[in-house]
Amino acid sequence: MTIIVTGGAGFIGSNFIFYMLKKHPDYRIVCLDKLTYAGNLSTLAPVMNEPNFRFVKMDICDRQAVYGLFEEEKPDIVVNFAAESHVDRSIESPEIFLQTNILGTAVLMDACRKYGITRYHQVSTDEVYGDLPLDRPDLFFTEETPIHTSSPYSSSKASADLLCLAYHRTYDLPVSISRCSNNYGPYHFPEKLIPLMIVNALHDKPLPVYGQGLNVRDWLYVEDHCKAIDLVIHDGRIGEVYNIGGHNEMANIDIVKLICRKLNKPESLITYVTDRKGHDMRYAIDPTKIHNELGWLPETKFAEGIDLTIDWYLSHESWWEEIISGDYQNYYQRMYGGR
C-alpha cells in the first residue's frame, strides 16, 4: 500500500505521517509538500531515513510534476492536507488560497483519475459550515448543515469540497471528505491561537485576543484527528462526508487564561485587539456519523492534551525559535502592529 500525503511537512500532515508509519509499518508513505512558510522539513527529521518514507518537494498546483510523481509511485491512496490554512492570511491576500486550496485539489484529483487510485481523501474543515450563535448551545454542525462560509479561507475549502463531490458524481472518483474542528498539539505553527499564546507567554509578550475573546472553538487533539482519517480512508464510505470533532467547546479567552496559569504568567499580558474581519462566533461539530459508522471517539481529553502540548513546546524550543526568528517577524508586525 502506497499513500501520498500532501502537506505532510505542516502541522496535521506531519502528525498523520508519524501516526501512519507507526500504525502501518508495512505501508509506503510519500510526502509531497511545497515547503511554504508553514512547511518545515525539520519536523519530518525523525522519519526522513525510514526506508518506507519518501519526501518530495513539490507544489500540488504543478500538474506536470504531480503527474510525474503519480506515474512513478502509483499510489493506492492520496490524502490531501496541503493547503493555505490561516484565516487571517486569507483576509490579507486571498489569491494564493484559491490557487492552492481549489486549483491544487483539482490537479491532485485529475492525477487520481489519470493514474487510478482506490481512494482520494480531502481533509476539510468545520469552517465550511459558517458559524453558530452563542445563545444556541443546542445547535451543532452535522454533515447535512448547508455550506455557508465566512472567510476567503473557508470559501476556498468549501469550493474544494464541492469539487471533490463533483469529481465523484461526474467521473466516479472514489473520494471521501472529513471536516474537522480546531486541532491542537505538537508542531502547530505559532501563528494559530494556542501555539501563538504559548510562545508569546514564554517571551512575556502581549497575548493578542481578538474582540472580547468570547468566540468559541471546538478543540481536538491532533492525534485523534489522525486516527479518524485513518479510519475513514480504510472503512469510510466513498462519496461521503464525515464530521470530526471533540465536543470540547471553549471560549478563546478561557484558553488564553488557562495557558497563562499553566505557564505561571500574569493575565495582565492579555491584550484585547481589533477583532478579525467577519470573525466566526462559534464552531461545534456533531460527530455522530463517524462514531456510529466507524466507532471513532476522541480519546485525549483537553486537560491532558493541553498539558502534552505545552510540555512539547517547552521541550522543543529550537523548533519554534527557528520559525519565529525568520520572516515570521515581518508577518507578526503586519498582522498585529497597528491592531
Could you list the active site residues? 126-127, 153
Show the binding pattern over residues 52-71: x = contacts ligand NAD (CB under 6 A), - = does not: -------xxx----------
Phi, psi of 310 (to 5 degrees): -60, -45
Q: Which of 11, 70, 283, 313 binds ligand NAD (CB under 6 A)?
A: 11
Contact, 150 vs 103, CB < 8 A? no
Helix (H) or strand (E) holding 178: strand 175-180
Rounded to a whole number of angstroms, the minimum distance from the CB of residue 200 to ligand TDX is: 9
Among 75, 186, 208, 298, binds ligand TDX (CB under 6 A): 208
- Determine if 188 is a binding residue for ligand TDX (CB under 6 A): no
Contact set for ligand TDX, span 92-151 (CB under 6 A):
125, 127
Touching ligand NAD, residues 113-172 (CB under 6 A): 123, 125, 157
Orientation angle between helical segments 317-324 and 328-336, nearest 10 degrees = 70
* Interface with ligand TDX, residue 87, by CB under 6 A: yes
Phi and psi of 37, rounded to 5°?
A: -55, -25
Is 209 a binding residue for ligand TDX by CB under 6 A? The answer is yes
Answer yes or no: are the C-beta atoms of 73 and 52 closer than 8 Å.
no
Residues 155-184 that bind ligand TDX (CB under 6 A): 182
> d(Cα 281, Cα 132) in Å, to the nearest integer?
6
Task: Between 28 and 217, name the residue whose CB sits nearer to ligand NAD.
Answer: 217
Buried b (16+ CB within 10 A) or exposed e, 102-119: bbbbbbbbbbbeebebeb
Of the residues 3, 4, 5, 6, which one makes contact with ligand NAD according to CB under 6 A: 6
Q: Contact letters (x/-) for ligand TDX, 271-310, by CB under 6 A?
A: -----x----------------------------------
Per CB under 6 A, 13 contacts ligand NAD = yes
Q: Which of ligand NAD, ligand TDX, none binds 195 (CB below 5-8 Å, type-dependent)?
A: none
C-alpha to C-alpha distances, 160 to 142, 181, 249, 250, nearest whole angstrom: 18, 17, 26, 28
User: Closer to ligand TDX at the Cβ: 127 or 230?
Assistant: 127
Where helices occur in 203-244 by DSSP H, the ranges are 222-235
* Cross-strand pairs, 182: 219
Q: Which stretch binds ligand NAD (CB under 6 A): 18-26, 35-43, 167-175, 256-264?
A: 35-43
Decide if residue 218 touches ligand NAD (CB under 6 A): no
Interface positions, 41-70, toward ligand TDX (CB under 6 A): none
- Give the containing element (helix H, strand E) for 177: strand 175-180
215 binds ligand TDX (CB under 6 A): yes
Task: Pick between residue 53 and residue 219 the one whose CB is nearest to ligand TDX.
Answer: 219
Angle between the N-to-C axes of helices 302-315 and 317-324, in degrees from 0 to 180, rounded to the nearest 10? 70
Secondary structure in 3-state letters for 66-94: HHHHHHHHCCCEEEECCCCCCHHHHHHCC
* Cβ neighbour number for residue 138 with a 10 Å cutoff: 7
In the complex, the residues that contact ligand TDX under the rule CB under 6 A are 85-87, 125, 127, 182, 192-193, 196, 208-210, 215, 217, 252, 276
In the complex, the residues that contact ligand NAD under the rule CB under 6 A are 6-7, 9-13, 33-36, 38-39, 59-61, 81-85, 100, 104, 123, 125, 157, 180, 182-183, 189
